[in-house]
Amino acid sequence: MTIEANENAVRVGGGRIRLGMVGGGQGAFIGAVHRIAARLDGHYELVAGALSSDAERARASAAELRIAPERAYTSFEEMARAEAARPDGIEAVSIVTPNHLHAPAARAFLEAGIHVICDKPLSMNVAEAQDLVALRERTGRIFAVTHNYTGYPMVRQARAMVEAGELGALRLVQVEYPQDWLSERVEAAGSKQAEWRTDPARSGAGGCIGDIGTHAYNLAAFVTGLRARELLADLSTFVEGRQLDDDVQIMLRYEGGAKGLLWASQVAVGNENGLKLRVYGEKGGLEWLQAEPNALWFTRLGEPKQLLTRAGAGAWPQAARVSRIPSGHPEGYLEGFATIYTEVAAAILAARDGGDPEAGVIFPTVEDGLDGMRFIEAAVRSSKDGNVWARLE
C-alpha cells in the first residue's frame, strides 16, 4: 500500500480534513513547509489561521492562502475558541511558531477538542511537555510532533530492519547533524530565522541542541527503538555574542548497553543539512544520509555492502508503503514531511469513525516530544555541570 493509495483511503466522510495554522505568516520558513506537506497528498484543506500576531500581517497572509477573512485570527486563543464553536470548525491545527508558543497554543487547541500537529522542540522545558502529555491523555486528541525525518521511506526501512533483528544486538549509534548557517552572527544582521533561534526567551535553554540536536536524537531513537538512559554533553558557543549553544557533542548511553555519539553543529562550514545516522550491531550495519534520502546502505557482517533504494529491489514494505513514485526518481524532504501529515490524517479519519487512531500508522507523538525535552534538559545540565553523566528523566 502506497501513500498514493492512502490518499484514497482518506476519502471517507466526503471531504478533506479542515486544518488551521498558528504561525507561518509571510516570511516564515517552516510554515510554508507544513502547508506543502499538508497539500501534497490531498488530505487537508487550510481554512483558518492565526498566522501572525500582527493584525495586518495576519490578514494579508491569510488572504494569500485563500483563508476567509473571518477566519484570519490574530491570537491562537481566539482562534481555538471561535473554531471550536463553528459547525465547520477546524479539526486539526498546525503549530509552527517559535518554541515559546508551542505549549500555550497546543494547550488551547487540545482543550478546544482540536487535534494538534506541533513543530519541535515540543516546549520550553520538560515541565511544560509533561503537562501537554497529561492534557493530551485527558482530552484524547491526536498530538503529533513533526520530527519529519521519520517520514523518509528509508528511515522507516532502517527501523524495520533493526526491529527484525537484521543487525543483531545493537552496539553503536553514530548520529550527526552539521550545518553552517550560523557560522557568523547573522542574528545580529537581520536574519529572522536566526533571531529567535538564538534567543533564550523564544527558543528555550537550547540553541543548536533544540533546533537540530533533537532531530538527530529523535532519528536515532526512532530507528533503533532505543531511548537513552543517560548522556554526557558539551555545549559550545563559538560565535562571540551569541547567547545559546551553536555546537553540541554528546555521548549517549542507551538501555541494553548500546552507546551513542551525537554531534550537531551550526558552525561547520561546508555543511548544509548533513544529518547522518549510522547504526551498528553484532551482525550488521546501516548508514543513512538525509542529503541522499532515497538510499540506505546495509552491510551484513562478512558480506558486501548493499545499496538499498526506496522502492527498489531491496525495499521493504515499510518503505514501499510510504513511497509515492518508483525508485530512481528521488523523493525528498517535503515528501517525508507530507508522510507525517498523511499518517496523521489517517489517524484523524480513524478517530472520526470511532476507530483506533494509532492502528497501522506511524508518527512522532507528544511522548516523543517529551523525550526530546528530557534530552535537551539533560544535555544542558550535563554541560553546565562540567560534562558529567546526566540521566534523561
Q: 137 near 162, Cβ under 8 Å?
A: no
Q: Which residues lie below 8 Å from residue 274, measured CB to CB, with a gap of 6+?
A: 176, 177, 178, 179, 268, 289, 290, 291
Q: Which residues lie below 8 Å from residue 251, measured CB to CB, with a gap of 6+?
A: 231, 232, 233, 259, 260, 261, 262
Q: Considering the complex, what minimum distance in angstroms separates the CB of residue 23 from a second copy?
A: 15
131 vs 180 by CB, closer to a second copy: 180
By three-state DSSP, how is residue 220 classified?
helix
Q: Distance between CA atoms of 379 and 84, rounded to whole angstroms?
A: 39
130 vs 236 by CB, closer to a second copy: 236
Residue type, 243: Q
Question: Which triple of cell numbers denotes residue 380?
Answer: 544542558
247 vs 368 by CB, closer to a second copy: 247
Q: Considering the complex, what minimum distance in angstroms separates the CB of residue 371 from a second copy?
A: 22
Residue type, 7: E
How many CA within 13 A on the CB side of residue 13?
A: 18
- Counted residue by residue, the chain has a size of 393
Please return the burial class of 138, using the count of CB atoms within 10 Å of its CB with bins 0-12, 13-18 and 19+: exposed
Q: Considering the complex, what minimum distance in angstroms separates the CB of residue 69 from a second copy?
A: 12
121 upstream amide cis, omega within 30 of 0: yes
25 vs 109 by CB, closer to a second copy: 25
Q: Distance between CA atoms of 156 and 164, rounded to whole angstroms?
A: 12
23 vs 285 by CB, closer to a second copy: 285
Q: Considering the complex, what minimum distance in angstroms separates the CB of residue 182 from a second copy?
A: 11
Question: Which triple of cell numbers denotes residue 103?
Answer: 505549549
Q: Considering the complex, what minimum distance in angstroms separates the CB of residue 327 from a second copy?
A: 5
Residue type, 115: H
83 vs 335 by CB, closer to a second copy: 335
Q: Distance between CA atoms of 324 and 276, rounded to whole angstroms?
A: 23
Q: Considering the complex, what minimum distance in angstroms separates the CB of residue 157 from a second copy?
A: 11
Q: Distance between CA atoms of 118 and 105, rounded to whole angstroms?
A: 9
141 vs 215 by CB, closer to a second copy: 215
1 vs 388 by CB, closer to a second copy: 388
Q: Considering the complex, what minimum distance in angstroms separates the CB of residue 388 from a second copy?
A: 8
Q: Considering the complex, what minimum distance in angstroms separates the CB of residue 281 from a second copy?
A: 7
